[in-house]
Amino acid sequence: MSAPVVVLASHNAGKLRELRELLRGQVPGLDVDTQVIDAATAGATDPVEDQVTFEGNALKKAREVAASTGLIALADDSGLSVDVLGGAPGIFSARWSGVHGNDEGNIDLLLAQLGDIAAEHRGAQFVCAAALATPTGNEHVELGKVEGILRTERAGEHGFGYDPIFEPSGSGKTMAEHTPEEKNATSHRARAFAALLPAIIDEVTKALAAS
């Protein structure tokens, strides 16, 4: 088996699967099933997300994992930005209610905060920063966004986070009412990594040629 050349700075199996499918067939000589691995396989720990922007957090994670593993590292950071809240919850999306990963609590608090806000002022965006860092110091970062509105009540059984109350513009249904395939094709994360793909292909091609 060839040595891995790309590590995803995450322990999320679903994210690794998505990344492998994104890269499959894109880089000659890259076996995505053996040469694209997650942080756990690479022996890397999760960096602390202490930056003040999505781009900052994504770059920090990629930079630290690239340095600790000696591999090209990819990372992302994402969240919900609400217009009337000045862009909040933003980087605090996952812990808006005070407990990291409390999806129901986060939604409940946000709905309460927007309780008196009319539909025309409930605009929001899902935002994702995707970053690449190499052990030699090359760095790239791209943003992906999905515009939409926030519903007043939950709808849908798919997804996670704020998906049950976020309706992408023109869709007529919440993100949680989209199938996983529909979401993955159009999500903010998919858009961010698609924008980053040329840089990924360039860096991975150079790494393969040097190996």
Amino acid at 45: T
Coil vs helix vs strand at 115: coil
In a domain, 12, yes or no: yes
- The answer to whether 161 is a known ligand-binding residue is yes
- Name the residue among 90, 92, 108 with its Cα closest to residue 100: 92
Q: Which tokens hold the place of 87?
A: 């862009």
> How many CB atoms sit inside 10 A of residue 69's CB?
19
The per-residue pLDDT for 62 is: 97
Angle at 126 between CA 121 and CA 131, to 5 degrees: 150
Question: Of the listed 77, 108, 116, 202, which one is catalytic?
Answer: 77
Report the distance separating Cα 36 and Cα 7, nearest Å: 6
To the nearest whole percent, how much of the chain has pLDDT over 70?
Answer: 99
For residue 132, being part of any structural domain is answered with yes
79 — phi, psi (to 5°)?
Answer: 180, -175
Q: Tell me how far the alpha carbon of residue 158 is from its chain's centroid.
A: 17
Residue 180 pLDDT exceeds 90? no
Question: Binding residue per annotation — 169?
Answer: no
So what's the pLDDT on residue 178? 95
Q: Active-site residue 50, yes or no?
A: no
Q: Could you tell me the two tokens for 31? A: 């076996």
Query: Is 120 inside any structural domain?
Result: yes
Annotated binding residue at 188?
yes
Q: Is the pLDDT of residue 1 over 80?
A: no
Residue 94, marked binder = no
Determine if residue 184 is labeled as part of a ligand binding site: no
Residue 1 in any domain: the answer is: no
Q: Give the model's confidence band at 211: pLDDT under 50 very low, under 70 low, under 90 confident, else very high.
A: confident
Alpha carbon distance, N-terminus to C-terminus of the chain = 13
- The CATH number given to whatever domain includes residue 20 is 3.90.950.10
Q: Is 189 annotated as a binding residue?
A: yes
Answer whether residue 2 shows pLDDT above 80.
no
Cα radius of gyration (the chain): 18
Number of domains forming the structure of the chain? 1
Whole-number pLDDT of residue 185: 84
Q: Which domain holds residue 172?
A: 6-210
Tell me the C-alpha distance between 66 and 75, whole Å.
Answer: 10
Q: What angle do CA 66, 68, 69 make, to 5 degrees?
A: 65
Mean pLDDT for the stretch of residues 47-56: 94
Average pLDDT of the residues of the chain: 94
Using a pLDDT cut of 90, give the percent of the chain over it: 83
Q: Is 15 assigned to a binding site?
A: yes
The response to whether 178 counts as a known ligand-binding position is: no
Evaluate if residue 22 carries a pLDDT over 90: no
Q: Is 44 contained in some domain? A: yes
